[in-house]
Structures are given as structure tokens and as C-alpha cells.
Amino acid sequence: MPENTAVVNETTEPVKAEAAPAKDAGTGKPRSLWSDAWHDLRRSPLFITSAVLILVLLSMAVFPSLWTDGSPTEADLANKYLKKPEWGALFQPEWFGYDIQGRSVYNRVIYGARASITVGVMVTLIVTFLGTVIGMLAGYFGGILDTLLSRLTDIFFGIPFLLGALVILTAFEKRSVWVVILAISFLGWTSMARVARGAVIQVKQTDYILAAKALGASTFRILTRHVLPNALAPIIVVATTALGGYIATEATLSFLGVGLQEPLVSWGVDVAGAFRSIRNAPYVLIMPSVLVSITVLSFLMFGDAVRNALDPKLR
Amino acid sequence: MGHYVARRLLQMIPVFIGSTLLVFLMMYALPGDPVRALAGEKGADPTQVAKLKAELGLDQPILVQYWNYLTGLFQGDFGTQIASRRPVADVIAESWPVTAQLAIFALVFTAVVGIGMGVVAGLKPNSVQDRTLLFITLLLVSIPSFVLGRMTQTFFAFQLGWVDPNVSLEENWYELLMPAAVLAALSLAYVARLTRTSVVENLRSDYIRTAVAKGLPRRRVVGVHLVRNSMIPVVTYLGADLGALMAGAVVTEGIFNIHGIGLTVFEALGKREGSTVVGIVSLIVIVYLIASLLVDLLYAVLDPRIRYA
Amino acid sequence: MTLIDESPAPQGAGDSGTPLLEVRDLHVEFHTRDGVAKAVNGVNYTVNAGETLAVLGESGSGKSVTAQAIMGILDMPPGRIPKGEILFRGQDMLKMSGEERRKIRGARIAMIFQDALSSLNPVYSVGFQLGEMFRVHRGLSKKDARAKAVELMDRVKIPAAAQRVDDYPHQFSGGMRQRIMIAMALALEPDLIIADEPTTALDVTVQAQVMDLLAELQREYNMGLILITHDLGVVADVADKIAVMYAGRIVETAPVHELYKRPAHPYTKGLLESIPRLDRKGQELYAIKGLPPNLTRIPTGCAFNPRCPQATDLCRTEVPALFPVTEQDGAELAGRGSACHYWKETLHG
């Protein structure tokens, strides 16, 4: 009989290893979180569908002339006032009918993509950058800095987003795309900062950060090389999911009369204007709304697919 | 527990001051002049304007104005509307109840339907019911609320004639149901998704396996062991959402013509009535802060691992 | 050291003639994205009342999956039982209705899990979770169930049980929590307990206490016990017989000290040689080379062949059955079997 307690395996057995049979053994190649995620994404119908939709939307935003020869502002009030759509006329100006000023709804929908998507993308970039920096500083350094930054986040978070944007934007007589972008970003960074702070605090306590510190790496290097890449997954998920929301916010602000304005062409502007003819010509409202919905949906599905791929817990 | 509540209440003070100051600055530091708005865009008599400004204290430095406002606020004085000369407190008191009712209906709707959908979906991950419910939530999230509002209004009021398109001045509670549903749509979808994720995660947990191994009936495994644990993140979301719902009422009230604080703030913004806007936003900030405190306390009830001392 | 030195466990039938539990040719597979993982591939074993069977193996050997199949707590899907029988007192549980199985779970067959902290519901008091057994299976009132819970906590030697009954799992130490798990399993005095790595998550000093408690209670109630472990030391002290599993099959069975003295399978031999021993201090520790197989691609022939120092072409092509193991003169060795084509050479050579 053996004298002492011994363990069969040379490694300590993982806590819950047996319930799900090992799937990592065999392929041999070490997979990182990111390459593993990419491997998953390529097979995910959700990801492929949303990525294709996003590419289509981006092509509208960047090259609207690919989609239509007409102009979004050309109006023919006399002949085309609220002319009904011709559903057979695919990709023609008359496809979705004409609005109250005799402008082609189809052309406007195509040209509207640029402003709407610009707002969505730019707000996401600004908010992600600001939120990540603030959250990372607060989470990594802790102490007084954390208290200050967290209170600042609380203060901004306490102001209802929509009301705050409304307050800022009513002050501007002329609202360009940038005014709208900055107003939304000014109030929108808080949730990103909270996510980033949480992620960084989690990463900070891991052994590899301690190891990097013990090896004498500079704080800047630790932050950029070790903390950020490992805290990035939740940040990216929140960012992609939020992007669609910002586009919807732009449309909502336009509906309230404080978003983008004519002569700018955007889905929000069109949706807001369309209410005047909602009962006679619902398509004038429906078409740009559908585009807003498709965009929001695409980014939401994209974010979902990325989260599923990055979060091993959800597999 | 008492200590914790006291500390949290103290912590709320700087956040409250900060939030109101921020709104105050946004209101007054940005272009736009309430007195000029009152006098009309075309030139008013400059001396008249100056007199009115001095009377309202609008000629003082912005921080002094804020200090005056804040000290007034703590004495229950919300200021006076410039155009109507009505006390802001009266305006708020008049428009407040209907919005509170609307937001609470929406919150109940969000909680009941959202959690219900989430549990049903999460119990059978990737089943037909799960995918259907997920698709519905995606639709709800992707349709902007003003579109959804106009569509339901057009459909139920104009096409079917079941309800009046606008909420009457009596503001009967049943008239608020449709607007509340529209207001709740987005939060409902998020709550459903959050609940689903939480249920799916907990379903795989060891203690659920134990509950099954104990021979508990499935009803009890789900009802007693799964749901309570899965509610913890959802409750947090719901608490933070009450403030957002009240703010979202701006859109809903506009569509259904409900004379609540949403419509009031919207009108006040047009006239640059600072004290009204700041007053209402402050109120929503307070609601938000108290709701988050309540949520934290509820959290401790749901999860005994959290102890506030 | 306590149990087995006194009385060798009764082999074969219990008092009624049918064994308490008999697993026959059990197969379990999981459908994963990387293919079908064959976790259990024809396992046979029996457990009698009062007997302790230790199931030994690395992670992925199918020892826990077998236990979960017996309990009826496998996740299906992705799990599937394509073949096999699990006879409890002669009745095939796999043919029972869900409700019949539920009534057996917890009441007749109970399970103790490895990690008591995550296995207890964090939001309910231990008294509630213990009392639940009586409320659900016996229809006791809340008050009576709570009294029973205190009694049980006393039974597993938790100090000041009456005061601690309303505490939550996180307020107990690891050893105490595992005692609560044991109390929960014992609550309805089941016929069979399955303990899945009951001491792995504990400190070494606490391990022995918990194991002794379990052995003591088992003897007292005359229960069957299946002890799943990868820890040879735990096995030696309490088990009557051992089944060694590898890649979803039993590769060797034997009464406990015979296995230690004379293993009849190269894998068992490797395991025993990899134990650090005081008398070999200073020498390099033996390790079985290679890794456990991927269950979606189990090697042909004997699953152990890529890691086996003695493997031949026969091993690479033909799956060895569990051969009865005999002495050199052909005298039968009761309860012994080895799934090695060269068991004779391994045992005697």
C-alpha cells in the first residue's frame, strides 16, 4: 500500500473538466482567444449575415452613386407629389415612391446612409476612446484617481441621455453632423468607461500582470501591452452593440427636431419629415425607418456574434 | 445597513450637485437667450432686456446663478418661469404624476414581460422558442421608439379605431397602457436578453446540477433555484432604467400628446426656460439616484453574499 | 486503513441475490462541434450494499460521466446514451419515466460533488437546502424540515449546528461545506452514494477527516458507495475494489490491495510508479508519457497503445476485452480483470 497521498495526473485536475469532454486536445495548435474567436466567427451565420449587411450599408454611405444615378434633393412637386411606389422598379428612383416635396424616397434613403452611419461610427469611435482611457486609468490606478473619475462618470451617467442631448442641441441654431456627433459623445462615454474599468480591474489582478510588474515593465508598457489587449473583448462587444443605438439616437433627435436638419440628407431627417404624410403615404416613413432598423439590427447581430465568439462561457 | 444607507445618501450629494451643475451649464453657457426668446427674434428694446435680466438674476456670473438656484432648490424653490411667471414647482407638480404613472407602467411591463420572455427563452437555449423570442427582441431593439409609437398609434387608433390617438386630458390610466408599452419596448427587449443570458449561464451551474441530483421536480429547480439567482443582474438593470424611462417619455409623450414632464421639458427648451429644464432634469436625477440605492439594497436581499456594513 | 483490513468485501450478490447497482455495457457520447466525443464506451460494474467501489482515472476517462449517467443528470443533449443498461435493484433506470427517476434521485441514490462551494446554491441558507430534501421527498413542513436539517448537521459533526443552520454556504469553511454536501446526500438514507472527487477541493489535512466521516457513515447505514477519484491515496484507505478507467473503458478491476501489489495493466502500473515514494527519494519521478486521447478520435485497438511501452501491432489493431486475470498456474483471482492483450506479461513478467 502506498505510503502517501498521490495524484494520478502530473497536472492538477481541472475542476469541472469531465462534464464536457476535452475538445482542445488533438489539434495540437495553440489557439489564442482572438484566433479562436475568428475561427468561430467564420462559421457563424449570424456573423456572416450581419457582416454582409454592414458592408452593403457602408457601400451606400461611401459610394451612393453605385446604387442610384438620381439625386436626393431633386424635387418635382408638380408631377411627383407623394407618387406611389413602383415596387417592380428595382433600384430606380421611383422604387419607393416620392415624398411630400416630390423627391425620390429611394434616392434619399441611399444618400441618407452617409450622415446616419457617420454619426454612428464617429460617436462609437470617440466614445470608445474616451471611455476606455478614463475607465482604464480609474481601474488600473485605483485610489483617489478612481474615486474622482468614478464620481465624474456617475455625474454624467445620472443625466438622462436623451434629455441631456436635447438640452445641448436646442442651443444650436444650425446643427451640423459634427455638432450632433459631439453632443451624443459628450454624454455617451459613461457606460463604456464603466465596462472598461470593470474589465481592467479584472485583468489587473491576474498573475501575468504581476509577472510583468515583477519583471520591471514600465506602467505605460503594462497598460498598452498587457492590460488593454486583455480587457479589450468586453469593450469591443459593447462598442459594436452600441453603434446601432447611436444611429437610432440620431434619428430620434431628428424626430424631436434637434437632430440633423435639411438640407442635410439623413434617415432621421426623412423620418421626422415623413410624419406629415403618414396617413396618405406611409412608405415615406417606412422606408427610411426600415433602413434605420436594418442598420441597428446588423450592428446588434454583429455585436452578438462577436460576444458569442469572445465569451467562452456562452459556448 | 443603516450606516450603509447613510453613506450612500452622502455620496449622492456630490453626484446630484455635479449633475445639476452640468445641466445648468449646458443650459446657460450654450448660445440661446431666454429673454430674447420671449421678446421674439426681432430686436427687443435693449434696456428692457437688461432690466428683465437683472430682475431674474440672469446678468450675474453663471456660478453665482447656479449657487442661487441650488440654495433655492434646497428651500423647495424651483424658480419661476420667465414667460408665464408661474412657479416652476407648480408646473412640475402638475405634469409630474402622469409621467410617473407612465414610467411605472412601463417598468412593470418591462419587468413582467421581459423577464418572462427571458426565462422561457433561456430554459431551452437554441430551441425554436428561444430563437423566436430572440428575434422579437432584436426587432424591438432595432425599431426606434418614435417609429414604433407612430406605427402602433396609426394602427390601433386610426386604422382599427380601438383607442383614441391622443391621451385625453383626464389621463385615465388605461389610456396610458399603449404609450407605456411603446415606452417599454426597448428596455423590455434588453431585459429579455439579459435574463436569457443569465438563465442560460445559471442553468449550467453546479448548484443547479445539485438541485437536479437532489430529485427536486423541475418546477422547483427552475422556480426556486434558477430564477432567483438569474434575477440579480436584471434587477440592477431595471433600477438604472427607471430614470431612462422617464427621460424616454419625451418621445412617447410627444407622440401621444400626454401632458407630462416630457412635453413640458420639450416646450421649456424651445423657450429656453432654464429653470424649468434644470428642475425637471434634477428631479429625474434624484429618481435615478434613489432607484439605484433601492436596487443595491434589493441586491443584498437577493444575494446574501453581499453584506452592507 | 479502517474498513478493508478487517473484512474483505463480499463479492458478487448481496443479500437478495441481485446487486444494488449494475452497470451493463454503458455507452455515452457527446455531440460537439468537433465531432462525436465518445466519453463512455462499454462500462460494466456492480456495487453491492455496504461495498465501496473506487473508480480511478484521469480527467476525460469517463468516470464522472458514468456517474452522471447513473444519477440521470447528464445534459442531454449534447449527451446521449446510445446503448447500455443501468440496473438499480434489478430495474433498468434508463427505461424508467422521468418522474420515476426523479423519485430515486436524492432519495435512493445520492451524489456528492467535488466543489461544495459552487455546488450549493449561494442564495439560500444551508438549512433551507438540507430541509428541501425532506420537504420535497417526504412532504415535511418547513419547521420540521429545519429541525431535520439541524439533526443532519449534527450527524456530520458540524459544531453548533443549531446556530449555524441559517447561515449561507459562503460562511462555512471548505471542509464544513463538504460535510454539508455529505449531510445532504445522507438526508434520506439512500442505498447508494456516488461521491465524485469528494475531497479534491479540500486541504490535505481536511481531506482525511472528510473521507473518514464518509466511510464511517457508509458503514453505519450499510450503503453502497461509488468513489470517483484520481487520488490513489484516498482509494487505498476506504475502497474494497477498484475499477481503473481509461478513455471511457474499464482497463483493470481488482480488489484494492491486489491492484497495488500486482497491477495487471500497463496503465495501472504506470500510475502506481508515478506516485512519489519516500523510499525512492532523490530518484526521478516516473511519468506516463504522452497525453490522454482526444475522445473524438480515440486510437484504434487499445486506446492506451500510443502511450504504452509494451505496445505491439496487435495492440494497435484489436481492442482488448476485459480478460479474467489468473495466477500463473491458472488459479482464478476473484474479481480481477485486465483489458490488456499482454496482461500475463504485465502481471507475472
DSSP assignment of A73-99 equals S-B-HHHHTTPPP-TTSTTSTTTT-B-
Q: Which of A144-153, C7-16, C177-186 shows the lowest per-residue confidence on average (mean pLDDT)?
A: C7-16
Q: What whole-number distance in Å separates Cα of residue C299 and Cα of residue C291? A: 12
Q: Which of B210, B216, B228 is opposite residue C123, by nearest beta carbon?
A: B228
CB contact under 8 A, B142 and A297: yes
* Distance from C-alpha of B67 to C-alpha of B59, rounded to nearest angstrom: 14
Nearest CA in chain C to B231: C123
How remote is the C-alpha of C58 from its chain's centroid? Answer: 12
Cell of B281: 432634469
Q: What is the rounded average pLDDT for all residues in chain B?
A: 82
Q: Is the pLDDT score of B13 beyond 70?
A: yes
Q: Which of A205-209, C20-24, C332-336 has the highest mean pLDDT?
A: C20-24
| Mutate which: C64, C105, C121, vs B, most B CBs within 10 A | C121
Once rounded to an integer, what is the mean pLDDT over residues B16-37? 76
Q: Which residue has the cell 467564420?
A: A42
Per DSSP, the three-state class of A296 is helix
pLDDT at A26 over 50: no
Provide the Cα torsion A64, A70, A75, A80; round to 10°: -120
Query: What does the pLDDT average to over C197-217?
Result: 81
Instruction: Between A16 and A248, name the one with better pLDDT.
Output: A248
Give me B14's grid cell: 456630490
Which residues of chain C lie closer than 8 angstroms to A28, CB-CB? none
Q: How far is C331 from chain B (nearest CA, A)?
A: 43
Q: Which set of grid coordinates corresponds to residue A75?
A: 424635387
The residue type of A9 is N
Compute the average pLDDT of residues C292-298. 85
State the sign of the Cα–Cα–Cα–Cα dihedral B88, B89, B93, B94. Answer: negative
Burial of C17 (0-12, 13-18, 19+ CB in 10 A): exposed
Q: Is residue B225 within 8 Å of B207, Cβ to Cβ? A: yes
pLDDT at C7: 38
What are the tens digits of pLDDT across the range A186-212?
988 988 898 888 888 888 877 887 888
- Which amino acid appears at position A46 of this protein? L
Residue showing cell 497536472:
A11
pLDDT tens digit string along A45-78? 888 888 999 999 998 888 887 777 777 777 676 7
Answer whether the bond into residue B34 is a cis peptide, omega within 30°: no
SS3 string, chain C, reads CCHHHHCCCCCCCCCCCCCCEEEEEEEEEEEECCEEEEEEEEEEEEECCCCEEEEECCCCCCHHHHHHHHHCCCCCCCEEEEEEEEEECCEEHHHCCHHHHHHHECCCEEEECCCHHHHCCCCCCHHHHHHHHHHHHHCCCHHHHHHHHHHHHHHCCCCCHHHHCCCCHHHCCHHHHHHHHHHHHHCCCCCEEEEECCCCCCCHHHHHHHHHHHHHHHHHHCCEEEEEECEHHHHHHHCCEEEEEECCEEEEEEEHHHHHHCCCCHHHHHHHHCCCCHHHCCCCCCCCCCCCCCCCCCCCCCCCHHHCCCCCHHHHHCCCCCEEEECCCCCEEEEEEECCCCHHHHHHC
pLDDT at A122 over 90: yes
Q: What is the mean pLDDT of residues B26-43?
A: 64
The Cα of A215 is separated from the nearest Cα of chain C by a number of Å equal to 31
Report how far residue A252's alpha carbon sits from residue A268's, in angstroms, rounded to the nearest whole number: 7
Using CB atoms within 10 Å of the CB of residue C277, give its burial: 0 to 12 exposed, 13 to 18 middle, 19+ buried.
middle
pLDDT (mean) for C152-177: 88
> How many Å apart are CA C76 and CA B212, to the nearest integer?
13
Cell (9 digits) for A160: 438622462
- Read off the pLDDT band of A134 (50, 70, 90): very high
Which pLDDT value is given to residue C96?
Answer: 85
For chain C, domain boundaries: 21-239, 263-348
Q: What is the arithmetic mean of pLDDT over C112-128?
A: 88
Chain C residue closest in CA terms to B302: C123
Buried b (16+ CB within 10 A) or exposed e, A232-245: bbbbebbbbbbbbb
Identify the band that residue A285 occupies on the pLDDT scale cut at 50, 70 and 90: confident
HSE of B192 in the Cβ direction (CA atoms, 13 Å)? Answer: 28
Cα dihedral across residues A280, A282, A285, A287: positive or negative: negative
Tell me if A4 and C234 make a contact (CB, 8 A cut-off).
no
pLDDT in tens, A69-87: 777 777 676 766 667 777 7
Q: What is the pLDDT of residues B76-88, one digit of tens each?
A: 777 777 777 788 8
B206/A163 CB distance under 8 A: no
Residue ranges of C 58-97 with Cβ closer than 8 A to chain A: 58-60, 62-65, 68, 75
Question: Computed from CA positions of residues B191, B197, B203, B206, in that sequence, does the dihedral angle turn out positive or negative?
Answer: negative
Confidence of residue A8 (pLDDT cuts 50, 70, 90): very low
pLDDT for A80 equals 66
- How far is C66 from C248, CA to CA, in rounded Å? 9
Q: Which residues pair with C245 in a beta bridge?
A: C250
Cα(A59)–Cα(A37) distance, integer angstroms: 26
Query: The whole model's pTM is what?
Result: 0.79
**Alpha carbon separation from B215 to B210, C69, C126, C135 (Å, rounded):** 9, 14, 17, 11
Q: What single-letter amino acid sits at C100? A: E
Q: Per-residue pLDDT averaged across C72-87, rounded?
A: 85
CA dihedral B123, B126, B127, B131 (to 10 degrees): 100
Give me the mean pLDDT over the C135-149 stretch: 89
Q: What angle do CA C267, C272, C275 make, to 5 degrees?
A: 130
Task: With beta carbons less than 8 A apart as the criterion, state whether A96 and A218 touch.
Answer: no
Q: What is the pLDDT of residue B120?
A: 92
pLDDT at B16 over 80: yes
Strand order in the sheet with C323-326: C109-112, C192-196, C224-229, C52-56, C241-246, C249-255, C332-338, C323-326
Q: Would the pLDDT of C269 be above 50?
A: yes
Other CB atoms closer than 10 Å to residue A211's CB: what's the count?
11
Residue among C284, C297, C290, C244 at smallest CA distance from C267: C244
Q: Which residues of A touch C (CB under 8 A)?
A: 1-10, 13-23, 25-26
- Is the model more confident about A43 or about C247? C247
Model pLDDT, residue C129: 92
Indicate if the alpha-carbon torsion angle C9, C10, C12, C15 is positive or negative. negative
- Average pLDDT over chain A reads 78
CATH architecture for residues C21-239: 3-Layer(aba) Sandwich (3.40)
Bridge partners of residue C224, in order along the sequence: C192
Beta bridge mates, C109: C105, C192
Judge whether residue C8 has pLDDT over 50: no
Tell me if residue A278 falls in helix, strand or coil.
coil
Q: Where are the alpha helices (DSSP H) in chain B?
A: 2-29, 34-39, 46-56, 62-74, 88-123, 128-142, 145-152, 177-203, 206-213, 218-220, 227-256, 261-270, 274-302
Q: Does B73 touch chain C (CB under 8 A)?
A: no
Query: CA angle, B248 as apex, B245 and B251 as ends, to 5°?
Result: 145
- Structural domains for chain A: 99-310 (1.10.3720.10)
Between residues C278 and B42, which one has the greater pLDDT?
A: C278
Beta bridge partners of A103: A75
pLDDT tens digits, B80-119: 777 777 888 888 888 888 888 889 999 999 999 999 999 9
When CB atoms are compared, the residue of C60, C115, C200 closest to A21 is C60
Give residue B80's pLDDT: 78
In angstroms, what CA-CA distances link B165 with B155, B159, B262, C267?
Answer: 10, 10, 18, 79
Calculate how close chain B gets to A217, using CA atoms only, in Å.
36
Domain B95-302 has CATH 1.10.3720.10: yes
Higher pLDDT, A22 or A210: A210
Share of chain C above pLDDT 90, in %: 7
The chains in contact with chain B, meaning 3 or more Cβ pairs closer than 8 Å, are: A, C
Mean pLDDT confidence for C241-249: 90
Cβ-count burial C322-331 (b if 16+ within 10 Å, e if not): beebbeeeee
Of A106, A68, A112, A58, give the one whose Cα is nearest residue A86: A106
Indicate if the pLDDT at residue B280 is higher than 90. no
- Cell numbers at B272, concatenated: 429656453
- Provide the grid cell at A140: 488600473
Alpha-helical (H) ranges within chain A are: 33-42, 45-62, 77-80, 105-141, 143-158, 161-170, 177-204, 207-214, 219-221, 228-255, 267-274, 282-310
| Residue C150: per-residue pLDDT | 92
C275 against C218, higher pLDDT: C218
Q: How confident is the model at residue C346 (pLDDT cuts 50, 70, 90)?
A: confident
CA-angle at C163, arms to C162 and C168, nearest 5°: 110
Helix (H, G, I), strand (E, B) or coil at A210: helix
**C-alpha of A99 from chain center:** 30
- Of the pLDDT bands very low, low, confident and very high (cuts 50, 70, 90), residue C10 is very low
Lowest pLDDT segment from B170-174, B237-241, C205-209: B170-174
And the C-alpha cell for B220? Answer: 422547483
CB-nearest to B304 from C71, C123, C137 is C123
Q: Which residue has the higher pLDDT, C77 or A157?
A: A157
Using alpha carbons, select from B246, B253, B236 the residue that is nearest to residue B294. B236
Predicted local distance difference test score (pLDDT) of residue A31: 60
**Mutation target among B12, B147, B187 for the A interface, most CBs of A within 10 A:** B147
* Grid cell of C146 as nine digits: 429545519
